[in-house]
Amino acid sequence: MLKRFYSLALLQALCQHSAAFEILAIGSSNTNCKNVDRSQIFTAHLESMLKTDGINATVINGGKDGDEPIWMIRRLTDSIKADTKIVILEPGPNDKSKSRSIEYSEKMLTMLKEKQIPTIYVSNNNVQSAEEAKEFVKGFGAYYYGNFASNMPVTQEYRQYDGGHGGGAGHLTAKGCEQWAKSIMPLVKKVIADRKVN
């Protein structure tokens, strides 16, 4: 009888997320997983993990190499659809002007708040410290993941040493993209539960 009860509870939990919805990950080459096979990018891993947990979400790769918030805001506007239920916003480090990067990140967060779309904000240490970013998102009711490099080992297994950001340890490898998906997964599930997304 107890086993039957747990089976029913599991079925009910899975049915709560039977309706498909979209999670839009908008950002720079970090989100796009530059130079990584498309089957191994961050959004592909995240979608697969969610489906394994019975959450029927399509995770859209809205990352673009070299993008800056001043241009990203237009792509964000064009990419939001009726079934976009969560946005993962990673403004990136590409704009040389920190103040402009923050200004247009603020514009995107304001728009998402007005549209009542739960947002996970991913900062970058080249623009804001974790403390600054955490305080920054409070006024928008957004969730703060942390710095993009949070929980990411700086080794050749996880990073592409291409002479890029942070003394060479810039873009993620396929394993790094998978690690990012694993790291952000608990927060994505928290947003789904908090906002009753389905």
pTM for the model stands at 0.88
| Residue 7: inside a domain | no
Q: Is residue 17 part of a domain?
A: no
What stretches in the chain show pLDDT beneath 50?
Answer: 2-17, 163-168
Question: Which pLDDT belongs to residue 169?
Answer: 54
Q: Confirm whether 4 is domain-assigned.
A: no
Q: Is 1 part of any domain?
A: no
User: Residue 134 — φ and ψ, nearest 5°?
Assistant: -60, -40
13 domain-assigned: no
**Is residue 8 included in any domain, yes or no?**
no
In the beta sheet, which residues pair with residue 60? 24
| Confidence (pLDDT) at 14 | 45
Angle between helices 98-114 and 130-138 (to 10 degrees): 30
Give the structural domain span for 49: 24-194
Per-residue burial over 96-129, b if 16 or more Cβ lie within 10 Å, else e, is eeeeebbebbbebbebbeeeebbbbbbbbbebbe
Domain annotation covers residue 18: no
Give the Cα separation of 182 and 197 in Å (integer): 20
What DSSP string runs through 103-152? HHHHHHHHHHHHTT--EEEEE-TTT--HHHHHHHHHTTT-EEEEETTTT-
Q: Which residue is associated with the tokens 């920054």?
A: 136
Say what the pLDDT of residue 161 is: 76
Overall domain count for the chain: 1
pLDDT per position as a tens digit, 118-162: 999 999 999 999 999 999 999 999 999 999 888 888 888 999 975
Q: What is the pLDDT of residue 162?
A: 56
Task: Report the CATH number at residue 188.
Answer: 3.40.50.1110
Is 9 inside a domain boundary? no
